[in-house]
Amino acid sequence: ETLDKGLEKTQRGLLDRLSHAIAGKSTIDDDVLDNLEEVFVTSDVGVDTTLRIIDRIQKRVARDKYVGSAELNRLLCEEIADMLAENSNESSQDDFTVPASHKPHVIMVVGVNGVGKTTTIGKMAAQFKKAGNKVMLGAADTFRAAAIEQLEEWGRRADVPVIKQKLGADPASVAFDTLQSAIANNADVVIIDTAGRLHNKKGLMDELTKVKNVMQKLVPEAPHEILLVLDGSTGQNAFEQARQFVAATQVNELAITKLDGTAKGGVVIGISDQFKIPVKYIGLGEGIEDLQVFHKREFVESLFG
């Protein structure tokens, strides 16, 4: 399966270290718990989330009285999945359908350069289209020529139109054009690539507020979603970026990319636990098909084999 294959490196690293953590032990005792703590902290899960996991395992072991070490993976799988389920809601909107209540549905995408923003937009466009939606993209990252060109390239690949202006144009004006065109063409979903740069908090807020205000002249509820893209292979940096963007914008969902090339996939568990914002998509490769809707339980099951 794509998920298992994409998470291979993370899975291998984790399972290897878990088997070391229980080596020579028949039960999950305090030593094992200490070892587990180290495994998770060094797997980019993050300290807070690690402590929550250890606490749950400890309670579970106490409650079940005797837990053989061979059952550790199953226990971790259950406890981590339950822990994540208690947090943010999982997106109910599966399979790239869009709400029927309004049209166009507007998704604004933010994130720093290089995290895989354009690639994610291209993959989303392809999947929304495949699901039967009329899709339109807006190249409102007007700051770099390459950003506009790359989005156009993805537009060709996904076979969806891209609305653009020239390099250096006002992002708000591009967003306005895109919505106008989407309305005229009866599009179901619009994805706006923004130059949501983290030069500083105020700059970012001002820029996004302006884009938002202009869009709302045409679609009062826009944007319906603000998606922050994070590079999973950067581990703790992804946490830090999430913190900064969440403080500066009304991000309401996350995409975590590049999980295929890294052993740092534990970052998804940490981010999903720490932020009350749902992880909606995960990126598992460079190809147009390599984006999946994130399901907590399925993800955790894939990691613990």
Q: Is 17 annotated as a binding residue?
A: no
Q: 42 to each of 16, 203, 298, how far by Cα in Å? A: 13, 34, 22
Name the residue whose CB lies closest to ligand GDP: 283
Minimum Å distance from CB 143 to ligand GDP?
A: 11
Q: Which is nearer to ligand GDP, 84 or 282 (CB)?
A: 282
Q: Which is nearer to ligand GDP, 133 or 233 (CB)?
A: 233
User: CA-to-CA distance for 215 and 227, rounded, in angstroms?
Assistant: 16
Q: Is 116 annotated as a binding residue?
A: yes
Q: Which is nearer to ligand GDP, 52 or 117 (CB)?
A: 117
Give me the amino acid identity at 255: A
Q: Is 106 annotated as a binding residue?
A: no
Q: Is 229 annotated as a binding residue?
A: no
158 touches 129 (CB < 8 A): yes
Minimum Å distance from CB 111 to ligand GDP?
A: 6
Nearest partner of 191 among 255, 128, 146, judged by Cα: 128
Minimum Å distance from CB 100 to ligand GDP?
A: 30
Q: Which is nearer to ligand GDP, 6 or 46 (CB)?
A: 6
Minimum Å distance from CB 242 to ligand GDP?
A: 15
Q: Is 259 annotated as a binding residue?
A: yes
Q: Which is nearer to ligand GDP, 117 or 280 (CB)?
A: 117
Q: Is 196 annotated as a binding residue?
A: yes
Residues of the shown chain interacting with ligand GDP in the complex, contacts defined by CB under 6 A: 111, 113-119, 150, 257-258, 260-261, 283-286, 290
Minimum Å distance from CB 164 to ligand GDP?
A: 15
β-bridge partners, 238: none
The kind and range of the H/E element at 279 are: strand 279-283
Those residues with Cβ within 8 angstroms of residue 273's Cβ, 6 or more apart along the chain or in another chain? 46, 48, 49, 52, 83, 84, 87
40 touches 50 (CB < 8 A): yes
Burial of 217 (0-12, 13-18, 19+ CB in 10 A): exposed
Numbered residues of the known binding site for GTP: 111-118, 193-197, 257-260
